[in-house]
Amino acid sequence: MNLTAQILAGDPPAGVGAFLRDEYVPGRWNFVLVNAWRSDALQLVQTARAAGLGVWLYGTPDVFTPALWRASLALMLSRIDTLGADGGIVDAEDGWQGQDAEARALGQAMHDAAVNYRLGFTSYPAWGPLAAFASTAGESVFGVPQMYGHSLPGPIDAPTVRAWWARWQAFFGARLVPAIAGWVANSLQQTQSGYHAYLSYIPSAPGAMVWLEAGGGPPSFIRDELANYQPGGSSVGTLAQSALVFVARPAGLVTLAVLAVALLTVGFVVWGVARGA
């Protein structure tokens, strides 16, 4: 068993990350996410590591269907090992309506794998079997709701974003980071001021994951906004959110308790040595 993975089970990465598509895209990222099925995944991982970034792997919805997820999860876990990634993100979307039993099986498999791997789950906000998945994934998996707005008939607004977040928060609690649009996914995001407003609607969190378009990075005005974006509202706020999520998990509380006992033990030993001197 991986002790680090157990301590950090259900703890999402902090700061701003980017889902890389077909190339490495420079930016003010704290981590990047690489498609584990790409033939150049190792090169992308090495480029990101050379830039001092954290690296996660992900798989797209076409490989995480009810029929394919078992083989796909096993492959992604294997590639986390071989590529030296920090963890993995499962993206399950279409084809899951009415598949509660498979969703529970997926949640259980990710829960079981979390003794060795840090894992997150992403999908669109209204994904049908979310309750079934979360019932077995438990505290070991974090959630990443996709808050893009690309399927809305009109401009995205704050109440809609809050409702999306609240649905996932009911199942994942504090173990939640948003996936946000790194492209013009909605009419509101067509201008810099509109994209700035969109970011302001996203609830405060310890991190965020930006979905990029293929063929390059975001438009310049989106890149400029992301350069100043802090998921927690400020750099201090982001750190505070990350700390709160860590201690809100059972694994985090156990870790703090162990550290407290260790510090008390060392203190008593030092006190005893001092008394006997």
Residue 66, classed as helix, strand or coil, is: coil
Q: What is the pLDDT of residues 261-271, one digit of tens each?
A: 344 444 433 43
State residue 251's pLDDT score.
Answer: 59
**Is there a contact between 69 and 91 (Cβ–Cβ < 8 Å)?**
no
Q: What is the pLDDT of residues 137-156, one digit of tens each?
A: 999 999 999 999 999 999 99
- Is residue 93 pLDDT above 80, yes or no? yes
State residue 85's pLDDT score.
Answer: 98
**Is there a contact between 180 and 145 (Cβ–Cβ < 8 Å)?**
no
How far is residue 27 from each of residues 24, 48, 176, measured CA to CA in Å?
10, 11, 23
pLDDT band at 19 (very low <50, low <70, confident <90, very high): very high
Tokens of 231: 């998921």
State residue 86's pLDDT score.
Answer: 98
- Is residue 272 pLDDT above 80, yes or no? no
Which amino acid is residue 217, in one-letter code? G
Average pLDDT of 90-106? 98
Q: Where are the domains of the chain?
A: 3-276
State residue 231's pLDDT score.
Answer: 96
The percent of residues above 90 in pLDDT, for the chain, comes to: 81
Tokens of 275: 């008394």
DSSP string computed for 170-187: HHHTT-B--EEESS--SG
* Cβ neighbour number for residue 136 with a 10 Å cutoff: 18
State residue 60's pLDDT score.
Answer: 97
pLDDT band at 273 (very low <50, low <70, confident <90, very high): very low
How far is residue 149 from each of residues 62, 161, 187, 199, measured CA to CA in Å?
21, 9, 9, 12
Whole-prediction pTM:
0.90
Residue with tokens 């510090």: 263
- Is residue 107 pLDDT above 60, yes or no? yes
Average pLDDT of 71-94? 98
Higher pLDDT, 262 or 27: 27
Average pLDDT of 246-273? 48
Listed range (92-106, 180-194, 214-228) with the worst mean pLDDT = 214-228
Greatest mean pLDDT among 32-41, 208-217, 238-247 lies in 32-41
Mean pLDDT of the chain, nearest integer: 90
* Gap between the Cα atoms of 210 and 183, Å rounded: 9
Average pLDDT of 3-8? 88
State residue 277's pLDDT score.
Answer: 54
Average pLDDT of 37-57? 98
What percent of the residues of the chain are helix, what percent strand, and what percent coil, each to the nearest 5?
A: 50, 15, 35
How far is residue 188 from each of residues 40, 147, 148, 191, 212, measured CA to CA in Å?
35, 13, 11, 7, 17
Superfamily of domain 3-276: Glycosidases (3.20.20.80)
* Gap between the Cα atoms of 272 and 65, Å rounded: 61
State residue 207's pLDDT score.
Answer: 97
